[in-house]
């Protein structure tokens, strides 16, 4: 049961007193060392940074550090639990950035609920960081903050609940389409849930060539279309959803009513990012989809339909958000690598084209390993995928003219690979020498019991 994992996590968080710390990366033992790193020596790099702020990318850790920022208004499946409630999650995100991408990340939780105050905060802290990862912000506020921050800041801004989920979902769809022998750009796709993840996914699908008329979108009130009763209200309260309603206009069947059941009728693929199930998507609805259907039910902790139910109903490829089921759509496959890439070329932003390049490289890596119905995406343990995705992202940044550094493919790849490998070696060394303490034996037993129960 999930409650077992909650208790284990509580015990270990208290045991370790947090998950990350700051360590020096230079020798700091003698008076000479301190004279270099602090006063009087530090005045030299300070003068250089004052003359040219971009020098901070070469003279400080700014080149490799990002802020993980949240107001705690939509944390995991817990909802609006505030900044303190969000803190363990942001710290965990920072851990993943370092462990998987070699990226230094600082968790920042705050009380700036108003979007303009939130944006002001980002502008004020910009000089300290090489990038911003937004996290766990309520919808539709999250869309406005991301759009505005990308305009106002000269460093990459990313919202993982939007772009991260969309990136990995797109990668999965690319390979799922190959398995069922269909052209993704010609497939009929149903998007169930029009929130933080499916709105950017819609944008990426358009970017790779899927016509809006091939997409039907369903929110909590039913199918989106241009004649829906609340269309004018949507125009003002949620222009992102409004745009989808106008452009898709009920999808390939020009639906003017109905909900999930009607949207799945004759669909080739469905991507559902709604609320935890099961039962949100019913097997009888999957039966009405096209032959060899693709079903992505990515709500956590329980998917909208169990994979075996979808398979029995005729689905060929099924993905969820869970690590204990095949084909996990996991944001962690994207954000550490994408930030590794943009930081290494000092990019000023992360464009949708860069996101597509990352998704395509994720898909390519899995395809080279040998995709099948239960393997359409890499796993977090396949660390070799991260420098490859970083390279693809960085090269697209250079191509689009948003990178401060212009490096070759080999230079980018070797740099990313070296940083990630060195991080892994440091962690392994600290653990082997006992500087990172092992998990207590009684908690290890609890973990084994929880895994048995979970299965």
Scored b (16 or more CB within 10 A) or e, 70-97 reads bbbbbbeeeeeeebebbbbbbbbbbebb
Q: Is 10 a catalytic residue?
A: no
Cβ distance 263 to 286 under 8 Å? no
d(CA 172, CA 371): 10
Tokens of 191: 């998007």
Three-class secondary structure of residue 303 per DSSP: coil
β-pairing verdict for 104-109 and 269-272: unpaired
The residue written with tokens 């191509």 in the block is 399
Catalytic residue chosen out of the listed positions 93, 241, 316, 348:
93
| Residue whose C-alpha is closest to residue 66's, from 144, 158, 2, 136 | 158
Edge-first strand listing for the sheet containing 104-109: 104-109, 65-70, 131-134, 157-159
d(CA 15, CA 378): 32
d(CA 415, CA 272): 37
User: How much of the chain is helix, strand and coil, in % rounded to 5?
Assistant: 55, 10, 35
Q: Is 141 a catalytic residue?
A: no
Cβ distance 129 to 65 under 8 Å? yes
User: DSSP assignment of 247-288, as one string?
Assistant: HHTTGGGT--S--HHHHHTT-SEEEE-SS--SSSS-HHHHTT
DSSP assigned state of 211 = -
| Residue whose C-alpha is closest to residue 86's, from 71, 98, 96 | 71
CA 257 to chain centre: 32
CA distances from 282 to 289, 313, 413, 419 (A): 12, 9, 45, 46
Interacting residues of 279 by C-beta distance below 8 A, sequence separation 6+: 304, 305
Three-class secondary structure of residue 156 per DSSP: coil
Catalytic residue chosen out of the listed positions 6, 16, 38, 58:
38
The residue written with tokens 């079903």 in the block is 295
Q: Which residues are catalytic?
A: 38, 93
């Amino acid at each position: 049961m999930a409650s077992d994992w909650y208790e284990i996590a509580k015990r270990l968080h208290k045991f370790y007193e947090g998950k990350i710390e700051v360590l020096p990366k230079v020798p700091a033992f003698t008076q000479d060392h301190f004279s270099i790193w602090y006063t009087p020596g530090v005045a030299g790099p300070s003068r250089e940074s004052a003359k040219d702020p971009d020098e901070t990318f070469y003279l400080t850790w700014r080149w490799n550090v990002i802020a993980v920022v949240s107001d705690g208004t939509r944390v995991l499946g817990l909802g609006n639990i505030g900044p303190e409630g969000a803190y363990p999650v942001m710290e965990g995100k920072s851990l993943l950035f370092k462990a998987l991408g070699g990226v230094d990340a600082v968790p920042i939780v705050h009380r700036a609920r108003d979007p303009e105050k939130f944006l002001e905060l980002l502008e004020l802290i910009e000089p300290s960081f090489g990038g911003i990862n937004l996290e766990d912000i309520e919808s539709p506020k999250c869309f406005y903050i991301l759009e505005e921050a990308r305009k106002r800041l000269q460093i990459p801004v990313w919202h993982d609940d939007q772009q991260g989920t969309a990136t990995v979902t797109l990668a999965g769809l690319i390979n799922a389409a190959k398995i069922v022998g269909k052209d993704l750009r010609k497939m009929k796709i149903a998007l169930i849930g029009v929130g933080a993840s499916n709105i950017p996914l819609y944008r990426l699908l358009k970017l790779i060539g899927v016509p809006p008329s091939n997409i039907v979108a369903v929110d909590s009130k039913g199918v989106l279309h241009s004649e829906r009763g609340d269309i004018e209200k949507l125009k003002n309260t949620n222009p992102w959803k409004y745009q989808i309603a106008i452009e898709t206009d009920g999808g390939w069947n020009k639906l003017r009513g109905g909900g999930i059941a009607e949207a799945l009728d004759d669909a080739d693929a469905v991507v559902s990012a709604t609320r935890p199930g099961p039962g949100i998507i019913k097997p009888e609805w999957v039966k009405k989809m096209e032959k060899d259907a693709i079903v992505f039910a990515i709500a956590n902790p329980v998917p909208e339909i169990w994979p075996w139910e979808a398979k029995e109903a005729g689905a060929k490829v099924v993905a969820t958000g869970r690590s204990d089921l095949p084909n996990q759509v996991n944001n962690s496959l994207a954000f550490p690598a994408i930030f590794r890439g943009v930081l290494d070329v000092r990019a000023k932003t992360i464009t949708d084209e860069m996101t597509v390049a990352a998704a395509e490289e994720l898909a390519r890596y899995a395809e080279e390993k040998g995709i099948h119905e239960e393997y359409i995406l890499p796993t977090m343990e396949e660390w070799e995928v991260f420098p490859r995705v970083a390279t693809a992202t960085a090269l697209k940044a250079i191509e689009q003219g948003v990178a401060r550094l212009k490096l070759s493919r080999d230079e980018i790849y070797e740099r990313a690979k070296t940083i990630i490998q060195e991080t892994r070696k440091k962690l392994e060394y600290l653990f082997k020498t006992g500087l990172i303490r092992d998990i207590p034996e009684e908690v290890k037993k609890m973990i084994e019991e929880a895994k048995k129960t979970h299965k």
